Homo-oligomer: A and B are copies of this chain.
Amino acid sequence: MTQPLRVGLAGLGTVGAGVARLLRDNADLIAPRAGRPIAVGAVSARNRGRDRGVDLSAAAWEDDPVALAGRGDLDVVVEAMGGSDGPALATVQAALSAGRHVVTANKALLAWHGAALAAAAEAAGVALRFEAAVAGGVPIVKGLSEGLAANRIARVYGVLNGTCNYILTEMARSGRDYAPVLAEAQAKGYAEADPSFDVGGIDAAHKLALLASLAFGVKPDFGSVSVEGIDAVSLADIAHADALGYRVKLLGVARRDGDAVERAVRPCLVRAGSAIGQLDGVTNAVVVEGDFVGRCVFEGPGAGAGPTASAIVADLIDIARGAAGPAFGVPAASLAPPVSGALRPAEHYVRLSLDDRPGALAEIAADLGTEGVSIRAMNQPDHAGEGGATVLIVTHACQREALDRALARVAARPVSLAEPVAFRIEDV
């Protein structure tokens, strides 16, 4: 057996310590699969003394991760610190400059700086790999960039944030509203103390930016991804959607439309019987639609120490075997800036709260008609007579912009008692 692959671990939190444990526990099967052993040669973290459940005393210690990245005795640096800038960025840049391969789970870093880092890796002739950055343990980066590489991709979409899916699933299951379910998710460790990255859709959008790059050869360019979170989803909408045969999911969708690439994270209604509709709890799922393969679904745990370590070590095994393709599947110089186009028309779910008097529905229907939005189904559930009447509408496929203009007309009418709510129905 040849020389071991020498790994430097920058960061020894949940992810870094998980990688160290995996390399120790499964060393016997990793060596034959990688063609050589994979050894932790050096580590860096903020607190040297902390017990991490794995003995790293044989590895050299560096206080400074950038110094670790520059060490001459390493082949690969695993960046496991997190953050879109600061030490994580400096460490990855230093490692690439020094001619070290880099493996990272850091979706924020790559969503912002992926194109530049991919170019730096190519210039240095080393690999930049990030299987763990999207959907945790699910090998979707490899699946998309290698397994389905022969296909012209039409659309890639999925449930990319387990926290949001847990909250939406739990609201539907228990009939409780957003706030108490979020509090429970925090208590269970499924949501951070500051949940805004998750529930605001940012984390999912980071991952979507990377999927879009892999699928369509565009720069991640996070700033131009459209993002909405789940805080606007009410229990009422989940219940109404259910009655109509839909589930509400926070969906990341990247779709090619001519030269444009639509990239959006937003709450959507999806058919209850679809693979995405049936996805409960913290599981992630990604669906890829290719011209030759048709539709492939990848499902599994989207977060956690074990799944993240599984993905990082898979990248290390690839590197040990000599894999060295470009980070986003095509040369970095060919990554085009994504062109945003008009959203593909879609059916929409609309919930209105109207004063319950004769003629109200006619006024609404007229507003929709004026903007060219046609109604596929309308339903006014029976109500106790107190407060306004809830009116549910499913539109035929329409442009969101036209629907928004129509709903602005509706909102301006005296008959309208609350801001209209509208969600896209994504055909999954």
Contact = CB atoms under 8 A, between A and B. Distances in A.
Interface in A278-321: 278, 290-301, 304, 306-307, 309-311, 313-314, 316-318, 321
B298 A294 contact: no
A150 B26 contact: yes
Nearest to A23: B150
Interface residues of A, number: 59
Given A293-B307, A298-B299, 16 more contacts: A22-B150, A25-B291, A26-B150, A26-B291, A32-B217, A32-B330, A137-B148, A137-B296, A139-B148, A146-B318, A151-B310, A278-B278, A294-B307, A295-B300, A296-B299, A297-B298
Interface string A15-52: 00010001001100110111100000000000000000
A150 B313 contact: yes
A83 interface: no
Given A22-B292, A29-B152, A146 B142 contact: yes
A428 to B, nearest CB: 13
A245 to B, nearest CB: 15
A291 B143 CA distance: 20
Contacts of A317: 146, 149-150
Contact of A295 (B217, B301, B311): B301
Given A275-B299, A314-B150, A137 B292 contact: yes
Interface of A is mostly: mixed
Contact of A149 (B150, B275, B314, B329): B314
Contacts of A296: 137-139, 298-301
A286 B18 CA distance: 26
24 contacts: A22-B150, A26-B151, A26-B152, A26-B291, A32-B334, A33-B329, A137-B292, A138-B296, A139-B142, A139-B148, A142-B147, A147-B311, A150-B310, A151-B310, A275-B299, A278-B278, A291-B306, A292-B307, A293-B301, A293-B310, A293-B311, A296-B298, A298-B298, A321-B325
A147 B143 contact: yes
Contacts of A275: 278, 299
Contact of A292 (B138, B147, B148, B309): B309
